[in-house]
Each structure stands twice: as structure tokens, then as C-alpha cells.
Amino acid sequence: MASPAKRAQRVDAEVDADYNTDVSKLDTSVLWRITAMAFRHRARMAVAIVATLCAGGFQLLVPQYLGRAVDQARGLLAGATTGSVDSTAAEAALLTTALLLLAAAVARGVFTMLQNYQGEAVGQLIGFHLRLDYYRKLQSLSMSWHDRVHTGDLMTRGILDIEGVRLWVDTGVLRSILLTVLIGGGAVVLFRNDTDLALVALSFVPIVAVRASIARLKLRDTWIALQDQMSILTKVMEENLGGIRVVRAFAAQAHEMIRYDRISDTALAIASRRVRLFVLSTTQMTFVYFLAMGLTLWVGGTKVIDGTITLGQLTEALAFMLILQMPVRQIGWMINSIARASTCGGRLFNVLDLIPSIADAPDARPLAVTGGVVRFEDVGFRYPSHAKDERTLSDISFEARPGHMIGIVGPPGAGKTTIAQLIGRYYDVSAGRITIDGQDIRGVTLRSLRDAVSIVQQEPFLFTASIDHNVAYGDPWAGRPNIERSAQMAQLHNYVKALPQAYQTLVGERGVSLSGGQRQRLSIARALLPEAKVLVFDDSTAAVDAATERRIREALKGFVADRAVIVIAHRLSSLMHADEILFVEGGRIVERGSHDELMADADGRYRQLYDLQARGAEATTDREGTA
């Protein structure tokens, strides 16, 4: 979100994982930025500020009317004793003052309600827009950034930090205006009556302000520590729930409980320290307040006896101090709100101000797909977190075109999945270039590129939704016939139709209700639905049995005939039918050719891998026969 005090933006690929360390002790630019966000809702903020001013003004009238009523009542009492005052006129004046006092109190209540409503409304609107902006930013940041940041920390920022920011309008901006009106206006009234009495009555204000400022620094530090600890708690819970089956399988519930309890104890200790700091500062401020009130009563009583001021003026000063009791105690809350808003806003804006390293170029155009030919031209790549001289891929060159399937095989960590990620431009190449129909993918829009490239991920992810919704995620507007056709090609249709609710069957979180092979087949169906011109299968049938894999391959023959297809696998039976097979090792292509050509080299890496897998298959068959 734009603002007059926007921080310097940084490319996300250049930001370390510990990206919250530059949140300063008190960043006024963050507070100005949040305030600017509030004033985008001009009408509501105008009503809230006017209501705050009116509420403060009417509240200042209450002690004045009360003091006048005391003087009138005293005069009426004195007149009744001496018989020198018209009691009817005095009673009428006293009644008028009482009605004015009641009207001021009612008006103050009405405007306070309006202030609270509009302040809360603006805060909720800020929270609403921040949640959208934050979620939108997370969707756009590069994969290299997400690789380094934990999900639990992002969730904490998206919940607790946004809550801290949205409270700034009510507890920071409007409360500071109200305190300024009450203290400033009250000071004018008190000094108008008597300077000495005014100084004594207001003596607690600077003392409380200084004490609150000191408390603010300590409270803010503990708030940061508590936020960090809550992020760790969220990480632990998210990991535990995601791996609940592993926890149960190894009966590690007690270990996980001890681990969670230890971190919770740390968070509780920090929270307790915050409470002690807050209670101590509030108690000290309250003591100073009542001390000032006692001095006011003593000094004012002396002046009343001397005839310097009236009893009504003393009452006015005491009533004004009573009115200020709660607002002054809230100075600590307001200071805490300043600290919290600065901290939470800084943490949020550190994310919102990031510039995605993978984004559309200024002159990017939609990808114009004609033949669907994918070319890697001397491609080199290094993950941002790796050392500068450590490359994952080097000098990778090949061409995938319709009717010419590419198979990629190699040992774990050779860079096979990285090749798939580069085709979808989840990362940018460090050297060379990747083109589709002659167009460098860095020069086309991401939306058009990913519409043209469909990647079946190595680890399928399913949403907590029905089967048809999971399949249709690749094309949300697809009709049921197209969904079923994709499922048939992925050899999933017969299984789904046998379920009680067929395609309406709910898939558990992350697909836990499906087997590994079923999840992979559903992922294949999802990738086939959009009918993209480039298909990449990244070890997508590792959990599928050989017979089902063969049926999937047969069903896809007609579908992939006019598409560029790249198959990445560890199991050679998954790609030995490819037109060209690349053996990748150490980030380089060390062998290439058809299955027959590669098998002809008895000392080749492909031949060695084939023999190893063949011996493994024979050993498995022998064991099954013996059993």
C-alpha cells in the first residue's frame, strides 16, 4: 500500500530469512503510514475526529456545571438561612444548571459512542485491506523467498500483527486527540480560576507521561519477544499437525507434548513479565494521581477558607481530576499501542514492501504459443541460498517439441526437479535462457506462461475439498465431462465412481484419505484438465504400480501427441519409451540418447542404473515366488 512514509523496497531474493531484524525501536514512519491508511477513509475518520472533539468538549463542561451547581446550592443555602435571597429564582437557576449538566453528560455519551463506533469501523477496514494485501503479497513473492521463511511465522504476522496495527486508530490516534482536548482544555479552565491550584491539579500529568514512556520501551521489547515466541509455537503446531501420522507411528506424543510445553512455558514467562511491567507502571501512575488529588484538596481547601476561590471552583478542579483519572491511566495503554503498532506495522511492512524477484518485466507480453517447442540453451542455475560458486545446473541444453518426448533421469540431487521448476519460471536461470517457440520466458507474462505449462509436481498437494474441486483446480470453469475425461486418462475415474458420493467425495486435509498412488493420479488429472501445450511430469508416478502406469501412458498417447512432454523419473520404466533420454548427474547432462542407444554403452551410467533396477526387480520377483 502506498504511503508518504514508505520504506525502501527490497527484492525478496536478496532478503535473508531473518527478515524482521531491522524493525527499529520506534519507527515513526510506520506510525505515519498506518495513520495515512486510516485517513483513506476520510468520511469515517472525519466523523470519528469530530465526535472525539465534541465528546472531549462536553466532558469538560461537566466539571464546570458541577462547580456552578455547588456554588448555587451554597448560595441558596446561605440565602435560606439569612432570608436575603429569592429561593424560587435560586432553585430555578440550580435546576437549569442540573439540566445543563445532564444534557452535557448525555451529549458526551452519544459522541463517545459515535467515536468508538467509527474508530472501530476504520480499524476493521484497515485490517480487512491489510489481510488482502498481505495474502496477495504472499501469493506473488518468489519461491526462493518462501524456501527460506517458515509458514508459522507468516501466519503469525497475518493474524497477530494485523490485529496490533488495526487497533492503532482507536487506541492511538483518537485516544491521543481525546487526551489533548481534556488536558489542554482542562488546563485552560483551571488556570483561568487559579494558577496555583491548576499547577497542583495537573502536576501528575508530566510524571505519568514520563513513567509511561519508560514503560513503553520495556513493554515493546517484551512484545517483540512474545511475538517471536508465538511464531515458534505456531511453527511447532503446524509441523506437528502436518506430520500427525508420523508422530502417532512412532508414539512420539509425549515427546511432542514436552517440546510444546517447553516453548509454551517460555511464552508464558514473557507474557507474565509483560503483565508485571504493565501492572507496576499502572500502579505507580495511579499512586501519583491520588497523591496529586490529595494535594489539590489540601491547597484548594486552604484557598477556600482564605476566600481566594469558591467552593465550586475547588469542586470543579476535583471533578476535572476525577474525569482525567481513567484517561491518564490509559496513557500507558496508549503508549503501549504506539509500541505495538510500530512493531507490528514494521513486521508487516517488511513483507508488504518486498519486490518479487520473479515478476513480469515492464515490457512483458503474453506468450504466443504456436508449436509448443521448449528449448534449454546452455542453462545454468544456482539457488539463492547456495554459495556463489555452487551451481545446481550447468550447461543444460535440449529441445522438447510435440511428438518428441524428453525423459530425464539421474541420481537424487542431480537437478532434475530444478529443471521442471525452471520451465514454469518458479526461479530464473543464472545463465543461458529457456524459450518456448523462440520466446524467452523471462520476457512473457507469468500468467500466460503458466497457462501454457502444466507441471505435475513431485509431491502432490490436495486441498480439503471434493474430488471434482481438486481436479478442477487446474481449470475452475471446467464442466463435469472434462473433469471426468481427465480422471479417465489418469486412471482415476473408475475408483471415484465406486465411491458413495463419487466426485462429490470430500478429500481429507492434504489428501490423507487417499493412497499415495491415488493422490498422484488426481494430481495428473488436475494437470491434464487445462490442456496446456507443455506437460512436465516430475516423478509423478513413483507411487503408482507398473500396470496402472502403463494404462496411464496408453491413455495419454493421443492427448500428448501435439504437446511437448518432459518426463522426469527415477524408475526407468517410466521414461524408457521417450524419444530422447537425458542422464543428469552433478547438474550436468552426462549422457543423452534413446533407450536403445544408451543401453548400447555397457559402461554408461544409464546402463548401470538399468542393470541395478533390473536386478532389484528380479530379486523382488524371487522373494514373491518363494513366499
Q: Which cell goes with 614?
A: 533390473
pLDDT in tens, 220-258: 677 777 777 777 777 777 777 767 766 677 676 777 787
The answer on 386 and 342 residing in a single domain is no
Domain for residue 76, yes or no? yes
498 occurs within a structural domain: yes
Distance CA 344, CA 332 (A): 18
Q: Do both 428 and 539 map to the same domain?
A: yes
CA distance 170 to 585: 60
Who has greater pLDDT, 90 or 603?
Answer: 603
Q: Which residues are CB-neighbours of 397 under 8 A, at least 6 positions away? A: 376, 377, 378, 379, 432, 589
- The residue-averaged pLDDT of 393-415 equals 85
302 pLDDT above the threshold of 70 = yes
User: Which stretch of 51-55, 211-215, 564-568, 620-624 has the lowest confidence by average pLDDT?
Assistant: 620-624
Q: Nearest 10 degrees: CA dihedral of 187, 193, 198, 202?
A: -40
**Average pLDDT of the residues in 466-471:** 79
Number of domains in the chain: 2
Report DSSP state, residue 8.
P
Instruction: Assess contact for 251 and 302: CB atoms under 8 A.
Output: no
- 191 phi/psi in degrees, rounded to 5: -65, -30
Edge-to-edge order in the sheet of strand 439-440: 393-400, 374-381, 431-436, 439-440
Task: Report the pLDDT value the prediction gives residue 200, as an integer from 0 to 100.
Answer: 85
Residues 108 and 250 grouped into a single domain: yes
Model confidence pLDDT, tens digit, residues 201-217: 888 777 877 777 677 66
Cα–Cα distance measured from residue 369 to residue 366, given in angstroms and rounded to the nearest whole number = 9
Give the model's pLDDT for residue 167: 84
Summarised one tens digit per residue, pLDDT across range 81-104 is 555 555 676 677 778 877 888 888
392 in Cβ contact with 587 (< 8 Å)? yes
Q: What's the pLDDT tens digit per position in 435-459?
A: 988 888 888 888 888 888 888 887 7
Domain-terminating residue out of 355, 384, 410: 355
**Selection from 86-95, 267-276, 513-522, 608-617 with the highest mean pLDDT:** 267-276
CA gap 129, 40 in Å, rounded: 11
Q: Cα(441)–Cα(374) distance, rounded to whole angstroms? A: 10
Instruction: For 602-624, give the DSSP string.
Output: TTSHHHHHHHHHHHHHHHHHHHH
Residues 526 and 478: their CA atoms lie apart, in Å, by 11
pLDDT at residue 5, rounded to an integer = 43
Rounded to whole angstroms, the Cα distance separating 317 from 177 reads 21
Read off φ and ψ for residue 415, nearest 5 degrees: 110, 15
User: Contact, 524 vs 458, CB < 8 A?
Assistant: no
Q: Is the pLDDT of residue 163 over 80?
A: yes
70 and 103 share a domain? yes
Query: What confidence tens digit (pLDDT) does each residue in 245-298 have?
Result: 666 776 767 777 877 878 888 888 878 777 777 777 777 777 887 888 888 888
Flag whether 9 is in a domain.
no
Could you tell me whether strands 439-440 and 354-355 are parallel, antiparallel, or unpaired per DSSP bridges? unpaired
* Residue 210 shares a structural domain with residue 84: yes
Say whether both 253 and 397 belong to one domain.
Answer: no
User: Is 413 in the same domain as 348?
Assistant: no
Partnered with residue 404 across adjacent β-strands are 401
Q: Give all strands (DSSP E) within 261-365, no chain letters.
A: 354-355
**Residue at a domain's end among 307, 326, 355:** 355
Query: Do residues 392 and 255 both lie within one domain?
Result: no
The pLDDT, as a whole number, for residue 624 is 47
- Asked if the structure places residue 1 within a domain, the reply is no
Length of the chain: 627
Q: Which of 306-315, 321-330, 508-517 has the highest mean pLDDT?
A: 306-315
Q: How sure is the predictor about 168, in pLDDT bands with cuts at 50, 70 and 90?
A: confident
Could you tell me which residue, 165 or 490, shows the higher pLDDT?
165
Q: Between these two residues, 199 and 512, which has the higher pLDDT value?
A: 199
CATH number, domain at 37?
Answer: 1.20.1560.10
Question: Is 15 domain-assigned?
Answer: no
Q: Which residues, listed in sequence order, are joined to residue 109 by a DSSP beta bridge?
A: none
CATH number of the CATH domain containing 490: 3.40.50.300
Enter the pTM of the model: 0.72
Over pLDDT 70: what percentage of the chain?
84
Mean pLDDT estimate for the chain: 78
Determine the Cα–Cα distance for residues 195 and 176; give it in Å rounded to an integer.
Answer: 25
Query: In this structure, is residue 80 part of a structural domain?
Result: yes
Distance in angstroms (rounded) separating the CA atoms of residues 20 and 559:
49
463 shares a domain with 349: no
Mean pLDDT of 17-34: 66
- Helix, strand, coil percentages (3-state) for the chain, rounded to 5, are 65, 10, 25
Q: What is the pLDDT of residue 75?
A: 66
Q: How far apart are CA 302 and CA 308, in angstroms?
A: 9
Quick one: 281 and 415 in the same domain? no
CA distance 82 to 196: 33
pLDDT (0 to 100) of residue 47: 92
Answer yes or no: do 481 and 350 share one domain: no
Q: Does residue 623 have a pLDDT over 60?
A: no
**Residue percentage of the chain with pLDDT more than 90:** 2
Confirm whether 362 is domain-assigned. no
> What is the structure's pLDDT at 82?
54
Domain end among 300, 321, 355: 355
For residue 195, give the C-alpha cell: 494558577
When pLDDT is cut at 50, 70 and 90, the band that residue 50 belongs to is very high
Asked whether 164 and 32 are in contact (CB, 8 A), the reply is no
Residue 591 has a CB neighbour count (10 Å cut-off) of: 18
pLDDT number for residue 261: 79
Residue that wins the pLDDT comparison between 591 and 214 = 591
Which residue segment(s) compose the domain that 51 sits in? Answer: 27-355
Note whether residue 246 is domain-resident: yes
300 and 378 assigned to the same domain: no
Average pLDDT (596-608) is 82
For the cut 50, the answer to whether the pLDDT of residue 594 exceeds it is yes
Distance (Å, whole) CA 539 – CA 535:
13
Q: What is the mean pLDDT of residues 304-318?
A: 81
Helices (H) and strands (E) in the chain, counts: 22, 12
